[in-house]
C-alpha cells in the first residue's frame, strides 16, 4: 500500500489542514494562536461564514503566513458559481470547494486563477443508507469514482474524498488530482460521531491522500498544540 503515498511536491507540514469549526472568528483566532507553528493550513467553513467576520479572518490568516481552505461548497447556477469563484480568487485562499454537476465544476474552473478548486465527491457523514434516502441507486464507491472522473474532465484541481475511497481513485486516476481527506479519527470512531466513513492519519496517507483535514481530534484535545504536533510527527515519519 506504500506505493499510494503521494509523490506531489508538498511540504509534509502543509499536508495537515485543521478545521476551524468554531462559533466565532475570535475563537478561531485564539485556536490558531494556541496551535502556533504546529499548523500552517486551516479550513474555514459554513459555521464561521454565518457568524460574521469570515473574510476578515481569511485575510488575518493569510497575512499570518497561513494557507486557507475556503470550504463553502459552492452549489448554484453555473454562472453564479463562476462569479463567486472569480471574486474569491484574489483573496489569497489556497483551496475552495464546489458541490454539483459537471457544468458547475466547469464554471468554477473557468476563472479560478491561482485558487485550487476541489470537487466534493460524497460527504464523509454519508453511508449507503443515506445514499438510498437521497435517491442514488449505486454504492458509495461507484459514486465517488464517477464524480472523481467528472472532476478530472472539468479542469478542477482535486477532490474531497474519504480515505476509504482514496485507493480506488489513485489506482484509477493516478496522481492527476489532489485528494483531500476529511473524517480523520485517531482511534476507532465513536458511536456519537457524525462522521461515518473514517480512517486514521497514517492510513489516510497510505491510501493516497495528499492532505488530511482534522477537526475535533485536535480542537477538542486537552492540549490542542500537542495533538497537532503528534499528527505532524506521524506525517513526517511517512514522508521522510
CATH number of the domain at 193, please: 3.20.20.70
For the cut 50, the answer to whether the pLDDT of residue 191 exceeds it is no
More confident residue, 185 or 83: 83
The answer to whether residue 123 scores a pLDDT higher than 80 is no
Confidence of residue 150 (pLDDT cuts 50, 70, 90): confident
User: Could you report the per-residue pLDDT of 71-97, keeping only the tens digit for each?
Assistant: 999 999 999 999 999 999 999 999 999
Q: Judge whether residue 216 has pLDDT over 50.
A: yes
Number of domains in the chain: 1
pTM of the full structure:
0.89
Catalytic residues, which ones?
Answer: 73
Question: In the predicted model, is pLDDT for residue 136 greater than 60?
Answer: no
> pLDDT tier at 223 (50, 70, 90 boundaries)?
very high
pLDDT at 192 over 60: no
Name the residue among 165, 55, 177 with its Cα closest to residue 116. Answer: 177
> What confidence category does residue 194 fall into, taking pLDDT thresholds of 50, 70 and 90?
very low
pLDDT of residue 199: 84
pLDDT at 197 over 90: no
Q: Considering only 17-21, 111-115, 141-145, 234-238, which range has the smallest mean pLDDT?
A: 141-145
pLDDT, position 129 = 55
The pLDDT assigned to 53 comes to: 95
The whole-angstrom separation of Cα 131 and Cα 122 is: 9
Q: Which three cell numbers stand for residue 105?
A: 465544476
CA distance 191 to 144: 24
Domain interval for residue 196 = 2-238
Residues 93-119: tens digit of each pLDDT:
999 999 878 899 999 999 999 999 999
Which one has a higher pLDDT value, 240 or 79?
Answer: 79
Q: How many CB atoms lie within 10 A of CB 111?
A: 15
User: What does the angle CA 193 – CA 196 – CA 200 come to, to the nearest 5 degrees?
Assistant: 90
- Nearest partner of 169 among 129, 122, 215, 130, judged by Cα: 122
Q: Is residue 223 a contact partner of residue 26, using CB atoms and an 8 Å limit?
A: no
Separation of alpha carbons 54 and 51, rounded Å: 7
Q: Between 196 and 26, whose confidence is greater?
A: 26
pLDDT higher for 107 or 129?
107
Confidence of residue 224 (pLDDT cuts 50, 70, 90): very high
Amino acid at each position: 500500500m506504500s506505493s499510494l503515498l503521494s509523490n506531489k511536491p508538498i511540504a509534509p507540514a502543509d499536508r495537515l489542514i485543521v478545521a476551524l469549526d468554531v462559533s466565532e472568528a475570535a475563537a478561531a483566532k485564539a485556536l490558531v494562536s494556541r496551535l502556533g507553528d504546529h499548523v500552517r493550513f486551516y479550513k474555514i467553513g459554513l459555521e464561521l461564514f454565518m457568524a460574521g467576520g469570515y473574510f476578515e479572518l481569511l485575510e488575518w490568516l493569510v497575512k499570518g503566513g497561513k494557507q486557507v481552505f475556503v470550504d463553502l461548497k459552492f452549489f448554484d447556477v453555473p454562472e453564479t458559481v463562476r462569479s463567486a469563484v472569480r471574486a474569491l480568487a484574489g483573496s489569497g485562499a489556497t483551496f475552495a470547494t464546489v458541490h454539483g454537476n459537471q457544468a458547475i465544476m466547469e464554471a468554477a474552473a473557468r476563472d479560478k486563477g491561482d485558487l485550487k478548486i476541489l470537487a466534493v465527491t460524497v460527504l464523509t457523514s454519508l453511508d449507503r443508507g443515506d445514499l438510498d434516502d437521497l435517491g442514488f441507486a449505486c454504492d458509495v464507491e461507484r459514486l465517488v469514482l464517477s464524480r472523481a472522473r467528472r472532476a478530472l474532465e472539468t479542469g478542477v484541481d482535486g477532490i474531497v474524498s474519504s480515505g476509504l475511497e482514496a485507493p480506488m481513485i489513485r489506482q484509477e486516476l493516478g496522481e492527476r488530482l489532489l485528494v483531500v481527506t476529511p473524517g480523520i479519527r485517531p482511534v476507532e470512531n465513536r458511536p456519537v460521531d457524525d462522521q461515518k466513513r473514517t480512517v486514521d492519519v497514517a492510513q489516510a496517507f497510505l491510501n493516497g491522500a495528499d492532505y488530511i483535514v482534522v477537526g475535533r481530534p485536535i480542537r477538542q484535545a486537552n492540549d490542542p498544540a500537542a495533538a497537532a504536533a503528534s499528527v505532524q510527527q506521524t506525517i513526517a515519519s511517512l514522508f521522510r
